[in-house]
Structure 1
């Protein structure tokens, strides 16, 4: 098979690594890729949100399957265009991807089927939103309604913080994503990520993980795109997983299919779990980052078989084969992240610690400059390891982190603390 992956972050590096474990992959192209991806696959310069350009690239390269990594191409209708051209694609059409691209769409979907989620209100102007916050009080969660690259959410512990978040959103901090704001009650409990492949009505759970969104240890500091993750998530036992499927995922996916917009691809189900009861925080229409890194490390070659079955409408034939293992990833970020960062810092030592089924350094924001890997973004590396226990995975991954020669790196030393305490 000839396979094209769209994206250039740590998630796409992990997807590429897993796909290459499968012997059915003859040729792998990643657009645009990054320095780490370029070491294992072909890369291509193409605007991944330009649907006609992506279709033409797929045709020119005789691509059999396209895997869409990030959310922006989904919002741009790239999956729609590929399907119209007869090319198999892993990722939902634009209409179904609204489960991520519009938070108020998902809230309305939950209301329609009775799926448990936080109470909310949506506003298109700052004044009524501020009045609502003052009436409700803090803590409260403030979200830009549209896509904000994982950064449009503020968990505000005070009225002043909530008011500032509303004002920033309507001032244009997140561009078009901030044309409306959703204000939610703050759920309590333990957060987990649940990943389910969906092919219209058929569902196949493919793993759980827990992310660490806060920049600082002890879950302090500003929200980020994710500073680390581990899999599986202990809080997601069989009973919780069954409730999440029966009360949230299946009703919502059935409603989409019955409404003429069947969902096809991976569904990221962000949950808050309290006393064994899951409530929906959010849906995403793609793999999370850095959760994809730990999932791909555990799934390996079978990840391609599962994604292909989903894209070709054969999900009812697919099965997941799990090893009794654990995986952890630690994100190494540029100093200052999630704020403004300096790029171009040289990074060494990676080649000596990566390249096995138990340890990989996935590149997120890197580039090659004069033959050296340099930082080229906020989140730069996802150092990932497997182990028979979570403790073994932790020890291995932090040994790898310490071997990376990048003294300026910012990272957390406490990934996995909830499960390991």
Structure 2
């Protein structure tokens, strides 16, 4: 098979590499990809993810068997609808289904309608009304831009004053149209985890759970980011909690979407929190997480190309995992991320690394990789325990000259308790 992956980050690097490892696959193209991917034999296609017609022309000319859409932006913009109209096979939700990520309000209304456990909330588009609600409810609360904000649209203020200031920024256009409306929701206490599933025509194939580290500094402090690292499995989340999440959240969500007229295909990502009352939904995404993808696909022993082909062909598939190991990934970011940061910083040569490396924010200058974004690359290692996996990855990182970069030194710390 010849396959196409749409996107340019570490998630798409991991998906492309996993697909190319299949004996069923001869070529994997990534559009637009990034220069670091070519180290793994992935073929870069200079077409931007927003250029739907260009991507369709490429897929038809190259006789692509099917396409995997990585990021949320093209999904919300309806790339799946456009591919399907052209008669092309594609794995991802259509525009209507992608609202589950594209609008926090849509997702919340869906959950209320179908009795899927989540926190209480209200939606506002006027600052005075939002401020009055915050003053009435008191802290803690969570503020969310309704639309897409590249993982930065969630704010957890520590004081009422911070909350009011953040609401002014959000409704004042901090994220453009994405924060024209703001969801204010209950702060739920518990341990977070990510539960992803492949979905097609009502069938659900859950993946192992992972735990992402959103805050920029050790001990989960500092600003929220797109993710500073992840690991799987997550030993402190009980098997019963995961099973409840599948039965009380994943299945009712897909059934609820179907009942409302939405036929979901692709990846459903449930960002969950384990509470004393069972799992509750923090957010839904319409695609794989980053950096969860990088550790999940290292942990997966199944042939990803075979799995997705089987799912699209309405066949029963079984997904298998490396139950002997923990996989743990540490994101290396530009200094200053998620606020202002420099670009163009030379990267160490990682081609001989014994750990898996997935690139995201990189460019190429004079044949060498340089930083081009906030999150630059993730390194994934493994061990029989979280502690062993940490030792492997941090020993490898400590041997590199990363003075101009930043990474957390405690990924996986909650699993050690």
- TM-score normalized with structure 1 length: 0.96
Q: Alpha-carbon deviations, 1:91-142, whole Å to 9, x = none?
A: 1001011110000111001101111100000011211111111111111100
Q: Hey, what's the Cα distance between the residues in 1 that align with 2:309 and 2:177?
A: 33
Unaligned runs of 5+ in 1: none
Kept after mapping to 2: 8 A contact 1:385/1:393? yes
Pair 1:406 & 2:417 matched = no
- Matched position secondary structure for 1:163: helix
Residue 83 of structure 1 corresponds to 84
Change (3 A) 1:73 1:311: farther
Kept after mapping to 2: 8 A contact 1:229/1:415? yes
Q: Alpha-carbon deviations, 1:211-243, whole Å to 9, x = none?
A: 000001011000000000000112433211121
Deviates more, 1:126-135 or 1:48-57: 48-57
Residue 102 of structure 1 corresponds to 103
Unaligned runs of 5+ in 2: none
Residue 346 of structure 2 corresponds to 346
- Matched position secondary structure for 1:249: helix
- TM-score normalized with structure 2 length: 0.97
Residue 197 of structure 2 corresponds to 196
Q: Hey, what's the Cα distance between the residues in 1 that align with 2:53 and 2:313?
A: 21
Q: Hey, what's the Cα distance between the residues in 1 that align with 2:294 and 2:326?
A: 12
Residue 365 of structure 1 corresponds to 361
Q: Alpha-carbon deviations, 1:50-83, whole Å to 9, x = none?
A: 3222211111111111011100010110011112
Residue 259 of structure 1 corresponds to 260
Kept after mapping to 2: 8 A contact 1:22/1:301? no
Instruction: Please tell me the root mean square deviation across aligned C-alpha atoms, in Å.
Output: 1.3
Deviates more, 1:242-251 or 1:113-122: 242-251
Kept after mapping to 1: 8 A contact 2:194/2:210? yes
Residue 333 of structure 1 corresponds to 333
Q: Alpha-carbon deviations, 1:276-295, whole Å to 9, x = none?
A: 61000011011100000000
Kept after mapping to 2: 8 A contact 1:346/1:406? no
Pair 1:319 & 2:335 matched = no
Pair 1:23 & 2:19 matched = no
- Matched position secondary structure for 1:330: strand
Q: Alpha-carbon deviations, 1:288-318, whole Å to 9, x = none?
A: 000000001111552222222233333xx11
Residue 420 of structure 1 corresponds to 416
Pair 1:386 & 2:387 matched = no
Q: Hey, what's the Cα distance between the residues in 1 that align with 2:341 and 2:239?
A: 41
How many angstroms does 1:198 deviate by? 1.2
Q: Hey, what's the Cα distance between the residues in 2 that align with 1:207 and 1:6?
A: 24
Kept after mapping to 1: 8 A contact 2:6/2:68? yes
Change (3 A) 1:407 1:63: same
Q: Hey, what's the Cα distance between the residues in 2 that align with 1:3 and 1:403?
A: 36
The number of residue pairs the alignment matches comes to 415
Q: Alpha-carbon deviations, 1:355-409, whole Å to 9, x = none?
A: xxxx211101011111211101000010111222222211111122123333211
Residue 9 of structure 1 corresponds to 9
Q: Hey, what's the Cα distance between the residues in 2 that align with 1:368 and 1:320?
A: 36
Q: Hey, what's the Cα distance between the residues in 2 that align with 1:162 and 1:240?
A: 32
Q: Hey, what's the Cα distance between the residues in 1 that align with 2:297 and 2:26?
A: 19
- Matched position secondary structure for 2:15: helix
- Matched position secondary structure for 2:63: coil
1:205-354 aligned at under 5 Å gives the runs 205-275=206-276, 277-300=278-301, 302-314=303-315, 317-324=316-323, 325-354=325-354
Residue 175 of structure 2 corresponds to 174
Residue 58 of structure 2 corresponds to 57
